[in-house]
């Protein structure tokens, strides 16, 4: 089965670097709208049979829940790597499956961006696709087939760690996808300004316009 896993941290504990510039209520709402922008894109994709959201914020995303899109409670919230392992365990994800890990703070994502990953993924039976952040200090998306190809090391310098790990895997097709939409994760106010300047047709953009946050 082809899976998408989207870990979503509790909003009150997310995006702390934005606290310098944004009130807590604005920061929390922004986290919600960014996640919804990601979900609006992935929910329309037909190449992945199962989408699993793991989060404490189950109520915020209940409208997305159906046979294809499941929400798994992240009661302990021990970090993204542990959250992914929890999904693997609950769904018995193994070498017969493929997995795409997506972050929830990439609101610029489009259906075409997802199609790029799918097209590349279909080119091989043993493949890894890494999408680095703009600064290349993080990994904004990872696709692996088979699903047991690597251990996830999200966190500081995760892109470098993932790349070095995958380079050691034999007989693998390894691709780095530098994509302007997927690479822009919103961590800082500077990231937020970059996003606003793109004038995307997203819930996040609409919200930021309404509260009059401008570049």
Alpha carbons 100 and 147: distance in angstroms, whole number: 9
Sign of CA dihedral 180, 160, 135, 18: positive
Mean pLDDT for the chain overall: 93
Query: Which residue's structure tokens are 């790597």?
Result: 81
Considering only CA atoms, which of 25, 30, 75 is closest in space to residue 55?
A: 75
Runs of H (alpha helix) within the chain: 24-42, 80-91, 111-121, 158-167, 180-183, 189-198, 203-210
Q: Are 110 and 205 in contact (CB under 8 A)?
A: no
- pTM equals 0.95
> DSSP state, 104?
S
Mean pLDDT of 128-151: 95
Alpha carbons 82 and 152: distance in angstroms, whole number: 9
Mean pLDDT of 71-90: 93
The reported pLDDT for the residue numbered 197 is 93
The reported pLDDT for the residue numbered 32 is 95
pLDDT above 70: residue 160? yes
pLDDT above 60: residue 215? no
Query: What domains does the chain contain, in order, with CATH numbers?
Result: 2-210 (3.90.550.10)
The reported pLDDT for the residue numbered 211 is 87
Q: Are 33 and 100 in contact (CB under 8 A)?
A: no
Considering only CA atoms, which of 186, 201, 194 is closest in space to residue 26?
A: 186
3-state helix, strand, coil in the chain (%, to 5): 40, 20, 40
Considering only CA atoms, which of 185, 31, 175, 164 is closest in space to residue 106?
A: 185
Over residues 10-22, the pLDDT tens digits come to 988 888 888 888 9
Mean pLDDT of 21-46: 94
Residues in the chain: 215
Q: How confident is the model at residue 214 (pLDDT cuts 50, 70, 90)?
A: low
Over residues 56-73, the pLDDT tens digits come to 988 888 888 899 999 999
Percent above pLDDT 70 for the chain: 99
Mean pLDDT of 83-109: 97
Mean pLDDT of 123-151: 95
The reported pLDDT for the residue numbered 78 is 84
Structure tokens that stand for 148 in this block: 């047991």
Beta-bridge partner residues of 158:
none
Alpha carbons 20 and 186: distance in angstroms, whole number: 14
The reported pLDDT for the residue numbered 213 is 72
Mean pLDDT of 158-184: 95
C-alpha distances in Å from residue 62, one per residue of 13, 45, 59: 20, 19, 5
């Amino acid at each position: 089965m082809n899976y998408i896993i989207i870990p979503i941290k509790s909003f009150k504990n997310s995006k702390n670097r934005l606290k310098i510039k944004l009130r807590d209520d604005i920061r929390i709402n922004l986290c919600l709208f960014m996640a919804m922008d990601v979900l609006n894109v992935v929910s329309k994709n037909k190449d992945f049979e199962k989408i699993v959201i793991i989060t404490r914020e189950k109520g915020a995303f209940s409208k997305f829940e159906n046979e294809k899109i499941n929400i798994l409670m992240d009661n302990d919230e021990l970090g993204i790597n542990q959250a992914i392992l929890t999904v693997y365990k609950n769904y018995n994800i193994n070498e017969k499956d493929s997995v795409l890990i997506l972050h929830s703070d990439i609101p610029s994502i489009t259906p075409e961006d997802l199609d790029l990953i799918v097209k590349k993924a279909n080119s091989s039976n043993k493949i890894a696709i890494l999408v680095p952040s703009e600064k290349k200090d993080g990994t904004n998306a990872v696709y692996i087939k088979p699903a047991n190809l690597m251990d996830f090391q999200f966190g500081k310098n995760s892109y470098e760690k993932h790349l070095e790990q995958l380079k050691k895997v034999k007989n693998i097709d390894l691709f780095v996808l530098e994509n302007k939409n997927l690479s822009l994760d919103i961590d800082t106010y500077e990231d937020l300004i970059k996003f606003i300047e793109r004038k995307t047709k997203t819930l996040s953009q609409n919200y930021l316009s309404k509260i009059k946050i401008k570049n």
